[in-house]
Chains A and B, each alone.
Chain A
Amino acid sequence: MKLSDSLLSAAASLRANKLRTALTTLGIIIGVAAVIAMVGVGKGAQLRIEEAIQGLGENVLFVRNGTNVAGGVRGGANTKISLTEADAAAIVTGAPSIRIAAPTLRATGQIISGNTNWFTTIYGVGDAYLQAREWQIGTGRTFNPNEERASTKVAIVGQTIIEQLFSGQDPVGETIRVERIPFRIIGTTRAKGESSWGRDHDDVVFVPLSAARSRLDVGKRYRGSLVRDITLKAHSADLLETAEQEVTDLLRQRHRIRPGAPDDFYVRNIAQYLEARAKSERTMAYLLAAVAGISLLVGGIGIMNIMLVSVTERTREVGLRMAVGARRIDILVQFVTEALAVSLIGGVIGVALGLGGLAATAHWGDWPLVISPLSAVIAMGFSALVGIFFGYYPAHKASRLDPIVALRRE
């Protein structure tokens, strides 16, 4: 019997029992769609975290000022300002796991160019900060040590500033006013894009730390060499925890905090937190995919169940086919083809449904759309395997029927 004949014959008998075929297929559809959707959601979760880590910069930690306690009233973060530029310098030399320690000031305010203005965030930083956070310089250049020392009124601006104030034109050489003080733009940063949470990384202006301190209002709050926070970059992800410990020990010593007394600063290990979250979300998604895989398996058992019923019902047909010359392999192929057809049709519909579900989640659920062709191929292959695996036993049973017993069956 030729393959085309097997296919025709399978199609005919599947058509003969439309409702049954549809219900059997449904089991596979649900299984495949669930696998596709879960893998997609898992990949989306991973992508979100990766984006977040990318926005943050790899292996980054933050040290922030601590909490002021006055008469039992705790003031929240950054109310007891004690971090200094000297602390940052001490961390680089004293904490072996730390590669970069960049002290920063931060202000928000209106910036003006010509007759347009824009509300943005202004960072007082050095080139070290740009390196720690992995900002790439686009046009122009970064700060030089002279400018960092001498409070020079220069600025590096993000892509959103270019869009908003310079209509996309290269602003290097132009002047912006920050708190009415003119800063000359010496460089631009490349886009980091929007995070999945909708925060615009590129809506930012960098000026030298010394310039922010001496020329902007923020300097009045952070007197002497006090800073808002210190951005740290560890040598590697494995060292994040060690780095946290080293920095804590070092700062407690420098700030002369007695044992048992609380820190007057916070070390925030966001990178590690994100890594951990990425890992748990990935694990969760794959767990769900595995559960979905089990439902595919259940769909396969459904196929087997129906095929067994079908073989029993069609015993006389099998006997007749044998009487007119069907060999065992012909019967086997016929029933396996039927099972395979059910599982493949289910696979195709399931993939379409799963991808549709993902697209819907992406559209309405604010979730990154990750379509993995590989997972579609694997899901199809898996459902084909399910069809063959669960179709084989009933088909084998049919092919082993004794023609005379089959023909006598009423």
Chain B
Amino acid sequence: MKTPIIQARGLSRDYTVGAQTVNALIDFSIDIRHGEFVAIMGPSGSGKSTCMHLLGCLDTPTAGKYQLDGEDVSTLDADALAGLRQRRIGFVFQSFNLLAGASAIANVELPLVYGGVPRVGRLAQAAAALDSVGLTDRAHYLPTQLSGGQMQRVAIARAIVNRPALVLADEPTGALDTQTGQEIMALLAELNRSGITIVLITHEAEIATYAQRVLFFRDGRLIEDRNASGDLLVRPPSGEDKL
């Protein structure tokens, strides 16, 4: 069997605010295989975003070990992590996070700019990504000239423009109406069918039904790990196990 794309063992993340320490994520272990569609659920403040930041190499754990595609990334420095994100990971955020002054296509090509892709190739790749989210005719619109759903499509195009293996989405439908949210989910499901591993945070049960596997968090801990049919999956090995 192929190495899981995500292997986390005993990941913890503490935040120190003044004299207080917040255990945002506690002893999180999981294996996620290539091509899986995973939803993360849980109440606000339960550590979902913290978990996603660690999985997305935006942050480094206070304790534990994390292997992305078999490579140990828990010890890499900031610039190495940036390179890793550029090549392997795409992000989609609740608030879209598009550059206000840049056109749709300019937003989409941003990861390629940092990847050092020459301008001509960049534009072609960005145009293809926009096409795959159905926004070819909006390539030169500014974000302010797009609807919420369209902005999120641009953000998805940006997330997939560098052909990442993993797309992480933090409440991508949170700022959209139900109808538009469904459309975005359909798009993510389509990406997943093309082989991209997707990890998605949501607090809507309906959204979570698109996933094959749902993780529940509470107070920084993973408390449940179910497949689509509701079966409790075998808990992944605990933190003491060697990778």
Residues of chain A with a CB closer than 8 A to B115's CB: 325
Interface-lining segment among A212-220, A237-245, A316-324: A316-324
Which interface residue of A1, A319, A324 has the most chain B CB atoms within 10 A?
Answer: A324
Task: Bin chain B's interface residue count.
Answer: 20 to 34
Whether the pair A323, B114 counts as a contact (CB closer than 8 A) is no
Report the stretch among A73-81, A179-187, A271-279, A326-334 that lies at the interface. Answer: A326-334
Q: How far is it, in angstroms, between the C-alpha of A323 and the C-alpha of B115 when the chains are bound?
A: 12
Whether, in the assembled complex, B124 has its beta carbon less than 8 Å from a beta carbon of chain A, the answer is no
Assembled-state Cα–Cα distance A325/B99 (Å): 15
How far, in whole Å, are A321 and B79 apart by their CA atoms in the complex? 13
A330 B114 Cβ-Cβ under 8 A = yes
Asked if B97 contacts A320 (CB within 8 A), the reply is yes
Q: Are B86 and A324 in contact (CB under 8 A)?
A: yes
Distance A16 CA – B53 CA, assembled complex (angstroms): 30
- Tell me whether B58 and A404 are in contact (CB under 8 A): yes
A1: B residues at CB distance < 8 A: 113-114, 116
Distance A322 CA – B83 CA, assembled complex (angstroms): 10
Q: Complex: how many Å from CA A326 to CA B115?
A: 8
CB pair A327 B58 closer than 8 Å: no
Kindly state whether residue A199 has any CB partner on chain B within 8 Å: no
The CA-CA distance from A330 to B115 in the complex, in Å, is 11
Cα of A106 to Cα of B116 in the assembled complex, Å: 83
Chain B, residues 80-101, CB within 8 Å of chain A (1/0): the string is 0011011100010100010111
Query: Quick one: given A1-B114, A12-B102, A404-B58, are A325 and B97 in contact (CB under 8 Å)?
Result: no
1/0 per residue, CB under 8 A from A, across B151-177: the answer is: 000000010001000000000000000
B113 CB contacts on chain A under 8 angstroms = 1-2, 5
Q: Complex: how many Å from CA A329 to CA B80?
A: 12
Query: Considering the complex, which residues of chain B in the window 55-114 have a beta carbon less than 8 Å from any beta carbon of chain A?
Result: 56, 58-59, 78-79, 82-83, 85-87, 91, 93, 97, 99-102, 110-111, 113-114
Out of B86, B93, B101, which one reaches A13, CB within 8 Å? B101
Q: Is residue A302 contacting chain B, with contact meaning CB distance below 8 A?
A: no
- Are A322 and B82 touching (Cβ within 8 A)? yes
Q: How many Å lie between the Cα of A130 and that of B91 in the bound state?
A: 89
- Given A324-B110, A330-B114, verify A403-B102 contact (CB < 8 Å): no
Q: Please determine whether A324 and B59 come into contact, CB atoms closer than 8 angstroms.
A: no
Q: How distant is B42 from chain A, measured CB to nearest CB, in Å?
A: 18
Most buried by A among B83, B93, B114, B162: B114
Contact A325 B85 (CB under 8 A): yes
Kindly state the separation between the CA atoms of A402 and B110 in the bound complex, as whole angstroms.
19
Q: How far is the CB of A220 from chain B (nearest CB, A)?
A: 90
Interface: A407 (CB within 8 A): yes
Q: How large is the interface on A (under 10, 10 to 19, 20 to 34, 35 or more residues)?
A: 20 to 34
A15 to B82, CA, bound (A): 28
Q: Is the CB of B83 within 8 A of A327?
A: yes
C-alpha gap A404/B115 in the complex (Å): 21
Interface residues of A in 295-336 (CB under 8 A from B): 316-317, 319-330
Cα-based distance from A402 to B53 in the complex (angstroms): 11
A407 to B113, CA, bound (A): 20
Q: Does A326 contact B82, Cβ atoms closer than 8 Å?
A: yes
Residue of A nearest to B161 (CB): A324
Write out the residue numbers on chain B whose beta carbons fall within 8 Å of the beta carbon of A402: 59
Residues of chain A in range 356-404 having any CB-CB distance to chain B below 8 Å: 402-404
Tell me which residues across on chain B come within 8 A of A13, comparing CB atoms. Answer: 101
Residues from 110 to 147 in B contacting A, C-beta threshold 8 Å:
110-111, 113-116
Answer whether A321 and B101 are a contact pair too, CB < 8 Å, given A327-B82, A404-B58, A404-B59. no
Inside 8 A of B97's CB, which chain A residues have their CB?
A: 316, 319-320, 323, 407
Contact A12 B82 (CB under 8 A): no
A316 to B111, CA, bound (A): 16
B79 engages A323 (CB within 8 Å) = no
A323 touches B83 (CB 8 A): no
Give the nearest-CB partner of A403 in chain B.
B58
Q: Which residues of A contact B85 (CB under 8 A)?
A: 322-325
Q: Which B residue's beta carbon lies closest to that of A9?
A: B113
Contact with A along B31-59 (1 / 0, CB 8 A): 00000000000000000000001001011
Question: For the complex, what is the distance from the CA of A5 to the CA of B102, rounded to whole Å?
Answer: 13
Asked if B101 contacts A325 (CB within 8 A), the reply is: no
Closest residue of B by beta carbon distance from A6: B113
In the complex, are the beta carbons of A325 and B91 less than 8 A apart?
Answer: no
B98 → A minimal CB distance (Å): 8
Contact across chains for A321 and B114 when beta carbons are under 8 A apart? yes
Hey, which chain B residues are within 8 Å of A323, CB to CB? 56, 58, 85, 91, 97
Return the chain B residue nearest A326 by Cβ: B114
> In this complex, which of A1, A15, A325, A407 has the most chain B Cβ atoms within 10 angstroms of its Cβ?
A325
Nearest 7 CB-CB pairings of A with B: A325-B86, A325-B114, A324-B111, A16-B101, A327-B79, A320-B97, A327-B82
- Residue ranges of B at the interface with A (Cβ–Cβ < 8 Å): 53, 56, 58-59, 78-79, 82-83, 85-87, 91, 93, 97, 99-102, 110-111, 113-116, 158, 162
A-B contact pairs, 7 of them (CB 8 A): A320-B99, A323-B56, A323-B91, A324-B85, A325-B86, A325-B115, A328-B78
Q: Known A-B contacts: A326-B82, A328-B78. Give 5 more (CB < 8 A).
A: A12-B102, A325-B82, A325-B83, A325-B115, A327-B82
